[in-house]
Amino acid sequence: MARKNIFDYTVRLLALSFIISNGLSCTSIPIKEESTHLKVFSSDYLHPTSSQPLCKSLLDSYCTYLYSPDVLGNLEIRRSQNSTKVLQGDTQNQFSQVFFTYSQAKLRNQSFLPKDLYRVLNRHNYFRKLEMFLKRKPVESMSLSDRLEVEQVDYELGMLWSAAVNETIILRMNRKYPGLHRISKKLMPLELSLVERRTRRNLISEISAAVWSGSENWKKVELTFSGLRQSYLNLIAKLDIPDEIRTNWENRIKEVRLVLPGSLPAISNEECSTTKVNAYYYTYLNIITVCAGDFNSEDILQTLAHEMGHVLDVDRSNYLFQSQSQLGLELKALRHNVCSPEKISCEQWQQFNTKFSNLLESLNEFTPALPEFQRCLKRRPTSKTIKDEDIRRIASVLSNDRISSLAGNDRFLRITKQKIPMFNGKQQKNPNYLNPCSYYLWSQEEEPVDDEITTLMVFTAAYRCSNEPPDKKLRASIETARNMTVKIFEKTLKLEGEFSSRNELESEGFSSSPTERFADVIGAYAMSEYLSQLPSIWERRNRFLAGASWLCEKPSLASLYPVESSIEKEFVFDSHTEGDQRRKELFTTPIRNIIACEKDFQFRECSLPLK
């Protein structure tokens, strides 16, 4: 149903133009939430009888209803205490629901934005223009001239926001480096470009925290996260696993953190903090975030359960094993020594160099938890067993490619020079002189042992502690870095083995990563624990379906031809199962039991060992 407009859109724009051009003040017009009358849904609409529904048919029917002509992606799922809004479609005037919610949040929290950005946006009347834009006519009610004008305003708003962000960054950079505004981007040296990119990430993080300040939808994410943490702990207590693994997994679940999307510079992501529908677990930082497009458009129980599953997966286990190994600990100590250009202990470097071979031995004997369960979860069966000669060959290729890339970008040379040339012929002090860590956008000592930063640390230490002439020690230091990098790769490739997610191993048939399916399956088990706290089957089914909305495909070839689409997806080289297959995998035995549905599909189920 078309939304009724109080004023004609063109008249409002003319009035706005008059206000702007004459410098008159105006009272902010609050943007009300969409008054869309959502269709109310409950699982008992699909299955009113007392017998058990068919599992996949229940979800398929829900998805069909969600994207039916009368619903178009937006509905309200009834629950005993609260209702869950699923907003996968558009508003009545054809904005995507997530864009509309994001725009409302910007208007509502504009005073919390960084002051320097806020001043620039106000100077361009950005917020007033955004208010007017959100009140546009429904597209089907527009004349051609209306539509063209709306397209222009849409473009202008995007341009103003980008221009304000860029202006704020230039002003911040100019305060730090007076006169920098006179240098064009193409003439800016790499070192200052890195500072500019960090400045941008800091600004985006400030914006993200401000826009979603006090968000009720985010509070629901936090509440769900807290409940799921306890559900995971309950599940782990029920698993038939060694006590060592149980204690390790419990600690890992207790330690993982939830953060607002983009609110930390290390994970600054403009798309995730605006309208993107996704969620991420950062293996090395041990943090989870749910993108704004996700927590503003559906129930995120299933999404969070999946991401928390990654806390326990084989990639995280491998990373922890490496970082806690003797080599990992010694590399951290070396980092503190090398990434300080004022001083370096060459004695520490010599000791590291001498015992390097022994340190490599600390990367032996890693055994993934529940290896048979992990094998069941492989995306595709592995056809070959990796041998030592394969590992040496691939390690050599990876190392040579890395050295080639670093040398091709003058990274070795730049690190060793106190001054860097500008394109105008002048020279400037190198802010990253003899500090390899500074050549990375955001480094918090979380990198794995075979990361590129290790190669550069070894190079820098070897270079600084050499008494050879510059040309000879440059060559010798690069060779030292390459040789050590090869040895480290040989160890980490062997550690990853058949469960590696590296393209080099997967493409040759040596490995297949189980991590995404692991998160799906263990997440489903944890979700069943969570749902068991709800008082009725009806409530559990509704919450389950609300969290599965992201699995529903909009009308498309895949939704019209699910069987053939599933066949096609088998040829997709990805760690996730896709489409119809992923829906089936969601219905683990605990989920089928907790929502009381009957299995109606064939699928190889990978089951966790329960006591």
Task: Decide which of 402 and 10 is more confident.
Answer: 402
4-8, 343-347, 520-524 — most confident range: 520-524
CB 315 within 8 A of CB 515: yes
In sequence order, the 6+-apart residues with CB closer than 8 A to the CB of 133 are 150, 153, 154, 157
What value does the mean pLDDT take over residues 344-358? 94
Q: Are the C-beta atoms of residues 566 and 580 closer than 8 Å to each other? A: yes
Q: State the Cα angle at 539 between 537 and 540, rounded to 5°.
A: 65
436 lies in some domain: yes
Residue 337 lies in a domain: yes
What average pLDDT does the chain have? 88
Please identify, among 475, 506, 537, the residue that sits at the C-terminal boundary of a domain.
506
Same domain membership, residue 473 and residue 338: yes
pLDDT digits (tens, 9 = 90+) for 440-451: 888 778 999 999
Q: Which of 44-53, 194-203, 228-237, 502-511 has the lowest mean pLDDT?
A: 44-53
Per-residue pLDDT for 381 more than 90?
A: no
State the pLDDT confidence band at 571, using cuts at 50, 70 and 90.
low
Q: Are 332 and 578 in contact (CB under 8 A)?
A: no
Among residues 319, 276, 318, 315, the alpha carbon closest in space to that of 296 is found at: 276
Q: Read off the pLDDT of residues 291-320 as tens digits, 9 standing for 90 and up.
A: 999 999 999 999 999 999 999 999 999 999
What local confidence, expressed as pLDDT, does residue 2 receive? 39
Lowest mean pLDDT among 159-163, 233-237, 269-273, 527-531: 269-273
Number of domains forming the structure of the chain: 2
| Strand ranges in 299-410 using DSSP code E only, listed in sequence order | none
Considering only residues 490 and 470, tell me which one the structure prediction assigns the higher pLDDT. Answer: 490
- For the chain, give the percent of residues with pLDDT over 70: 90
Q: How confident is the model at residue 429, as a pLDDT? A: 85
For residue 358, being part of any structural domain is answered with: yes
Least confident of 67-76, 328-337, 379-388, 576-585: 576-585
pLDDT value, residue 14: 35
Q: Which of 488, 480, 490, 433 is nearest to 458 (CA)?
A: 480
Answer whether residue 21 is part of any domain. yes
> How many Cβ atoms are within 10 Å of 113's Cβ, its own excluded?
23
381 vs 357, higher pLDDT: 357
Q: What percent of the chain clears pLDDT 90, i.e. is strictly above it?
A: 69
User: Does residue 345 lie within any of the structural domains?
Assistant: yes
Structural domain includes residue 63: no
Q: Do 497 and 357 have their domain in common?
A: yes
CA distance 461 to 487: 17
pLDDT at residue number 187 = 78
Q: DSSP string spanning 17-38?
A: HHHHHHT------PPPPP---P
Domain-terminating residue out of 158, 177, 207: 207
Average pLDDT over residues 221-247: 97
* Digit-coded pLDDT (tens) for 419-428: 888 767 778 8
pLDDT of residue 25: 34
477 plus 349 within the same structural domain: yes
**How confident is the model at residue 213, as a pLDDT?**
84
Range of the domain at 339: 317-506
How far is CA 492 from its chain centroid? 24
- Structure-token pair, residue 214: 């006090």
Q: Does residue 591 contact residue 527 with C-beta atoms inside 8 Å? A: yes
- For the segment 208-213, the average pLDDT, to the nearest whole number, is 94
Among 483, 506, 529, the domain-final residue is 506
pLDDT at position 36 is: 55
CA distances from 431 to 39, 53, 443 (A): 59, 66, 16
- Distance, in Å, from the CA atom of 52 to the CA atom of 54, rounded to the nearest integer, reads 7
Least confident of 50-54, 105-109, 518-522, 589-593: 50-54
Q: Report the interhelical angle of 579-586 vs 515-531 (nearest 10°).
A: 40
Q: Give the lowest-confidence range in 109-113, 191-195, 239-243, 588-592.
A: 191-195
Selection from 190, 205, 98, 604 nearest residue 433 by Cα:
190
Place of tokens 């969290």: 547
What is the per-residue pLDDT across 1-56, written as a single tens digit (0 to 9) for each? 333 333 333 333 333 343 333 333 333 344 454 445 788 888 888 877 667 899 99
Tell how strand 74-77 and strand 84-87 pair up.
antiparallel
Residue 201 pLDDT > 70: yes
Nearest to 211 by CA among 281, 292, 157, 134: 292
Asked if residue 431 has pLDDT above 90, the reply is no
Kindly state whether residues 332 and 197 are assigned to the same domain: no
**What is residue 558's predicted lDDT score, i.e. its pLDDT?**
65
* pLDDT single digits (tens) 267-297: 888 899 999 999 999 999 999 999 999 999 9
330-351: average pLDDT: 90
Per-residue pLDDT of 135-184, as tens digits, reads 999 999 999 999 999 999 999 999 999 999 999 999 999 998 898 888 88
β-pairing, 257-258 with 287-290?
A: parallel
pLDDT at position 380, please? 81
Q: What does the block give as tokens for 288?
A: 């989870």
User: Looking at the domain assignment, is residue 430 inside a domain?
Assistant: yes
- The pLDDT of residue 298 is 93
Work out the number of other CB atoms within 10 angstroms of the CB of residue 488: 27
How far is 368 from 558, CA to CA, in rounded Å? Answer: 36
Only one residue has tokens 């500019």, namely: 196
> CA-to-CA distance for 201 and 195, rounded, in angstroms?
10
Chain position carrying tokens 């619903």: 71
Residue 237 located in a structural domain: no
Q: Which long-range contacts (CB under 8 A, 24 or more apart) does 274-280 make?
A: 274/102, 275/96, 275/98, 275/99, 275/102, 277/98, 277/550, 279/303, 279/304, 279/306, 279/307, 280/307
Q: Specify the pLDDT at position 108.
A: 95
Whole-angstrom distance, CA of residue 111 vs CA of residue 149: 29
Q: How far apart are CA 563 and CA 580, in angstroms?
A: 8
